[in-house]
Structure 1
Amino acid sequence: MKIAVLGAGALGCAIGGALAQAGNSVVLINRNAAHVEAINNQGLRMRTPAGEQTVRTAATTSATGLGPVDLVIVLVKSFHTEAAMSAATALVGPQTTVLSLQNGLGHEDVLAQIVGREHVLAGKTYVGGVLLAPGQIISGTEGKETLIGELDGRISERAQHIAATFNAAGLTTTVSDNILGTMWDKLLINVSTGAVSGITRLTYGPLYGIPEIEATAVAAVREAMDVAQAAGVRLSYTDPRDAWLKARAGLPDDFKTSMLQSLEKGSVTEIDFINGAVVRWGQRCGVATPVNATLVACIKGVERALQAH
């Protein structure tokens, strides 16, 4: 398959690297020139439980000059989705599928406005990646599931073909007939820990040792579940505390959420697509979301304080 990864940071490189290793033609697109140069010169170096592997694959800082591909995997930060896809429409031909594997909710609507809803597939991945240096990552694909699906719940031929390609590359992938429910399931995980860790600056060890934080996190998840129910979304969770516990499962005490990592780098977060999505859907469905609205307000305040320095 001819595949472009739009936003090939740590996670994009983990997925793109695995697909390239399996014999697909992959181009990694990232605005960081040093990262791109390192991949083109030395290959993508991936540290896995099996040891370090070097994968040869193309990398570039923009989609300019690239023709249509079979699959565009979108992994840019939520707030860059519109600009990044608008600058990469050359990748999209009549048969191209555009698959969002981003955190949060709402990207599929942004992408649909740019490329047309018929090109868009939604998905969620539990694969992890950490950027160690330009062109060098820790890849966490083992035992980590990816789910993809059509927005209308059909089990389509194209979704099955993409899943087969991912599975052949060692990326455990399932086609879902309830991708919206799947996306909400993942959203509940992010709702439970992202904002509270960003506000407190705590890693998982201390974060999970404070009962008041757990109570706040569980209340935020409960609101999100109430909104999902009102919207007719099928969730796999029935107890909000399960999402709080799942977020922690298998991760070390020094684990930092992506929201905390963003704030430590002094950049804006994806809060509008996580807790903010719960607030927006709540307004649409007539469900009050005071806990999530408060968490959004606090993160916006932290962002503003960082920008002032």
Structure 2
Amino acid sequence: MKIAVLGAGALGCAIGGTLAEAGHELVLINRNPAQVAAIGQHGLRMRRPEGESCVGVQAAQSAAGLGPVDLVIVLVKSFHTREAMAAATSLVGPQTVVLSLQNGLGHEDILADIVGRPHVLAGKTYVGGVQLAPGHIIAGTAGKETLIGELDGQISPRAQAIAEAFNGAGLRTTVSDNILGVMWDKLLINVATGAVSSITRLPYGPLYRIPEIEATAVAAVQEAMDVAAAAGVRLSYTEPRAAWLKAAAGLPDDFKTSMLQSLEKGSVTEIDFINGAVLRWGQRHGVPTPVNQTLVACIKGLEAALPH
């Protein structure tokens, strides 16, 4: 399969590099010239518990000059989705599938605006990646699940073919007939902790010891569940506190959410695709979301205060 990873940071390289090792034709696209140069000169170095490997793989700073591929895996930061895909339409031919494995909700609509909804598949992955240096990553792929699916819930031959390619490379992948439900389940986890941890600047240990924070988080999750119910989305959660507890399961007290990490690095967050997605869907379906609206407003204020 001919595959392009749009947004080949640590996670994109972990997935793309693993697929390249299995014999697929890969191009890793990353705007960072140091990442591209290192991969071009030395290959992609991937560290796993069983040792380190190096795979020769094409890397580029943009899609310019690259023709259509079978699959585009989109892993850019949420707020770069429109700009990145608009600059990469040369990758999309008549049969190309564009698969978002990004965090949050709403990327599939942006991608559909640019390439057309029939090209778009949605997904969620629990694969991890850590950047050690340009062209050198830790690949957390073993036993980590990826779920993909058609937006209309059909089990399509193309989704099955992608899952087969992923599974053949050792990336455990399932085709879901309820990918929106899968995405909402993951969204509830992010809604529970992302904003409250970022506003308070607290890691999980102290965050989970303050009853008022828990009450706010659970209320935000309940709003999201009410919106999902109004939209006809099938969730696996029946009680909002379960999402709050699941968010911290197995994580150390010093764990920080990705949203808090973004603010600490002086970067804007993916709030528009997390609590902001609850707002948009709530407006669409006539469900009030005042807690999520307040959390979004607070994060927007913190972003505005970042040094420019």
Aligned equivalents of 2:43 and 2:193: distance in 1?
A: 35
SS in structure 1 at match of 2:65: coil
Per-residue Cα deviation, 1:175-215 (whole angstroms, up to 9, x for no partner): 01111111111111111111112112222233223222222
Aligned twin of 1:82:
82
- TM-score under structure 1 length normalisation: 0.96
Aligned equivalents of 2:299 and 2:31: distance in 1?
A: 26
Per-residue Cα deviation, 1:256-298 (whole angstroms, up to 9, x for no partner): 2221121122111110110001011111111111111111011
Aligned twin of 1:293:
293
Aligned twin of 1:119:
119
Task: Report the CA distance shift for 1:213/1:142 in structure 2 as closer, same or farther (over 3 A).
Answer: farther
Per-residue Cα deviation, 1:195-249 (whole angstroms, up to 9, x for no partner): 1121122222332232222222111111100110011100011111221222222
Aligned residues: 308
Aligned twin of 1:50:
50
SS in structure 2 at match of 1:41: helix
Correspondence 1:9-158 to 2 at 5 A: 9-158=9-158
Aligned equivalents of 2:281 and 2:245: distance in 1?
A: 24
Report sequence identity in percent.
81
Aligned equivalents of 2:255 and 2:130: distance in 1?
A: 11
Q: Which amino acid aligns with 2:13?
A: C
133-142 or 108-117: bigger deviation: 133-142
Aligned twin of 1:182:
182
Contiguous gaps of at least 5 residues in structure 2: none
Per-residue Cα deviation, 1:124-166 (whole angstroms, up to 9, x for no partner): 1111212222112222222221111111111000000000111
Q: Which amino acid aligns with 2:226?
A: D
Per-residue Cα deviation, 1:83-109 (whole angstroms, up to 9, x for no partner): 100100110111110001111111111
Correspondence 1:147-296 to 2 at 5 A: 147-296=147-296
- TM-score under structure 2 length normalisation: 0.96
Q: Which amino acid aligns with 2:142?
A: E
Contiguous gaps of at least 5 residues in structure 1: none
Q: Which amino acid aligns with 2:189?
A: I
SS in structure 2 at match of 1:129: strand
Aligned equivalents of 1:229 and 1:253: distance in 2?
A: 33
